[in-house]
A and B are shown apart, each in its own frame.
Chain A
Amino acid sequence: MIQIENLHKKFGKNQVLSHLDLQIDEGGIFAVLGPNGSGKTTLIKSILGMVVPNKGNLKVLGTSIRKKWKYRQEIDYLPQIANFPGNLKVKELVRMIKDLRQKPSKEEELIKRFGLEPYLDKKLATLSGGTKQKVNIVLTFMFDSPLIILDEPTTGLDPASLLKLKELIMQEKDKGKTILITTHIMQFVEEMADEIVYLLEGNIYFKGTIHELMAKTGQNDFEHAIAAISTHTTDA
């Protein structure tokens, strides 16, 4: 699904990604983890073509994405901070994104699922953070694309909506889709992820299942295992 070879990215003097190689196979939920500033968002934005890498090869669905844009038709992306043009109504935003992508969509079902009907005629600037995130989720999941990228999907959600989001992600996974998630909530990862990609200082430090991680660190609790990786490196 995604092949990354020798990816480099620098912002000014700050080397964010260096010599990064990553292979993501088709199907399943992959959690991209790592401390703050480890390059998670930069990695995701490189896959999306929003960040232009200094060096390296990036392939999505078997073709190089360099200077291409049509491949984004096959990606649904949930940005980290739900910032939308404030003077648009929710309804208009949904209609606009549909118009831009020209793909069949199932927004009605999702709007019902997250209880957004009363907000459809409200302007986005007046919505609360959690409601904006729900709109964000609707916009992401309303298309049927083989690759879904979620950057901090749980931000601002109440417990009931979080459950609905988890259900939704599981449903999409069962359809055989590839889902990339970044989050800092370990419980969420433990529950959802099939595989973990742990980023540290701009490189892949660990890639494998949760069990492999626990075996490697000698911990029997996932949260401690993750903490153990981070401390391991500070000792080294």
Chain B
Amino acid sequence: MLKILKYSFYDLMRSRWSYVYFLFYLALGFVLLFLNHDLSKAVITLMNVIIILVPLISTIFGVMYFYNSKEFTELLLAQPLKRSSIFLGQYFGVAGSLTLSLVLGLGVPFMLYGLFRSDVIWDFSLLLVTGAFLTMIFTVLAFNIALANENKIKGFGYSVLMWLFLAVIYDGLFLLSLIIFEEYPLDSFSLAATTFNPIDLSRTLILLKLDISALLGYTGAVFKSYFGTDLGLFLSLGMLVLWTVLPIWLLTYKSKRKDF
């Protein structure tokens, strides 16, 4: 697996898109810092950007990479290699290079600004960890969709729909159901609804850490009253790990049964 990972990673490191992604975050980091002059405000703005954009880019990148490396995959399948190591190697190659672009792109400007001397360093690290998780989750979801669909257009369409659903539509439905059922106790419902969406989960996680009650909203308040800040943090991190591990397992399971 490590060999495949190495080749996929090198392949991506030479591709233009990794640099575009890296430069985008670099620019974003610098612009935010110089417009805000305030690290903690910049972190909040970044959160909003990361939570929407990282999933979108990971999804599109994952699907594109999977379809573009079809030939490479077929070449590898005839070699003495385990199927799961072929797909996992490619997946970690993509997710790894995307995460690297994100962490370096945002890390460099913040470091130059004096992150190590400020007390938001933990908030910022959590932001990067969440970004990394979102990258891993949405890349593997995209890989799963691409593996299930031979047709590129369909695969692309389904994955963009998945992003749209989790990033936008889900919240709308969630809010709507809160309004419709407002006479019922909704604590456990809203808890469950939050954990079933990695984007909501990440948002809650960061807001819990930042401890901004005004921004916490209903779910955050429920989370907080139920678990307190620390337990809530661990629980939502654990859910993010599940969100990563389960689709990866699904990817290996499905790949073993597919015909090429």
B7 touches A87 (CB 8 A): no
Chain B residue nearest to A9 in the complex (CB): B259
Counting contact residues on chain A (CB < 8 A from B), the size range is: 20 to 34
Which B residues lie within 8 Å of A45 (CB)? 259-260
Q: How many angstroms between the C-alpha atoms of A99 and B5 in the bound complex?
A: 13
For the complex of A and B, list the 10 residue pairs with the smallest distance between their C-beta atoms, beginning with the closest.
A83-B71, A72-B80, A73-B80, A85-B72, A77-B78, A51-B259, A50-B260, A69-B82, A50-B77, A100-B79
B78 touches A100 (CB 8 A): no
- Interface residue count for B (Cβ, 8 Å)? 24
A51/B260 contact (C-beta < 8 A), A85-B69, A100-B76 known: yes
A52/B80 contact (C-beta < 8 A), A85-B69, A100-B3 known: no
Chain A residue nearest to B7 in the complex (CB): A96
Which B residues lie within 8 Å of A96 (CB)? 7
Apart from A52-B257, A52-B259, A100-B79, what are 5 other A-B pairs with CB-CB below 8 Å? A72-B80, A83-B70, A84-B75, A85-B75, A100-B81
Tell me, yes or no, whether A130 is within 8 Å of chain B by CB: no
Q: How far is the CB of A127 from chain B (nearest CB, A)?
A: 13
Contact of A83 among B74, B83, B256 (CB under 8 A): B74
Q: How many angstroms between the C-alpha atoms of A29 and B15 in the bound complex?
A: 43
Tell me, yes or no, whether B117 is within 8 Å of chain A by CB: no
Contact of B259 among A50, A77, A85, A87 (CB under 8 A): A50
B80 touches A79 (CB 8 A): no
Q: How many angstroms between the C-alpha atoms of A75 and B82 in the bound complex?
A: 15
Which B residues lie within 8 Å of A52 (CB)? 256-259
Contact of A97 among B71, B77, B79, B258 (CB under 8 A): B79
A85/B257 contact (C-beta < 8 A), A69-B82, A70-B80 known: no
B residues near A, CB below 8 A?
3, 7, 11, 14-15, 69-72, 74-83, 256-260
Which A residues lie within 8 Å of B70 (CB)? 83
B80 touches A69 (CB 8 A): yes
Q: How many angstroms between the C-alpha atoms of A11 and B259 in the bound complex?
A: 9
B78 touches A48 (CB 8 A): yes
B83 touches A69 (CB 8 A): yes
Which B residues lie within 8 Å of A71 (CB)? 80
Chain A residue nearest to B73 in the complex (CB): A85
A residues near B, CB below 8 A?
11, 45, 48-52, 67, 69-73, 75, 77, 79, 83-88, 96-97, 99-101
Q: How far is the CB of A148 from chain B (nearest CB, A)?
A: 12
A101/B80 contact (C-beta < 8 A), A79-B74, A96-B7 known: yes
Which A residues lie within 8 Å of B11 (CB)? 85, 87-88
B75 touches A101 (CB 8 A): no
Q: How many angstroms between the C-alpha atoms of A67 and B3 in the bound complex?
A: 21
Q: How far is the CB of B78 from chain A (nearest CB, A)?
A: 4
B78 touches A50 (CB 8 A): yes
Which A residues lie within 8 Å of B75 (CB)? 79, 83-85, 97
Q: How many angstroms between the C-alpha atoms of A81 and B80 in the bound complex?
A: 20
Which B residues lie within 8 Å of A11 (CB)? 259
A99/B3 contact (C-beta < 8 A), A84-B71, A85-B11, A85-B69 known: yes
Q: How many angstroms between the C-alpha atoms of A49 and B82 in the bound complex?
A: 11
B260 touches A69 (CB 8 A): no
Chain B residue nearest to A99 in the complex (CB): B3
A69 touches B81 (CB 8 A): yes
Which B residues lie within 8 Å of A83 (CB)? 70-71, 74-75
Which B residues lie within 8 Å of A88 (CB)? 11
Q: How far is the CB of B233 from chain A (nearest CB, A)?
A: 41
* Sampled A-B contacts (13; CB under 8 Å): A45-B260, A48-B77, A52-B258, A67-B256, A70-B80, A79-B75, A79-B78, A83-B75, A84-B71, A85-B71, A87-B14, A97-B79, A100-B81
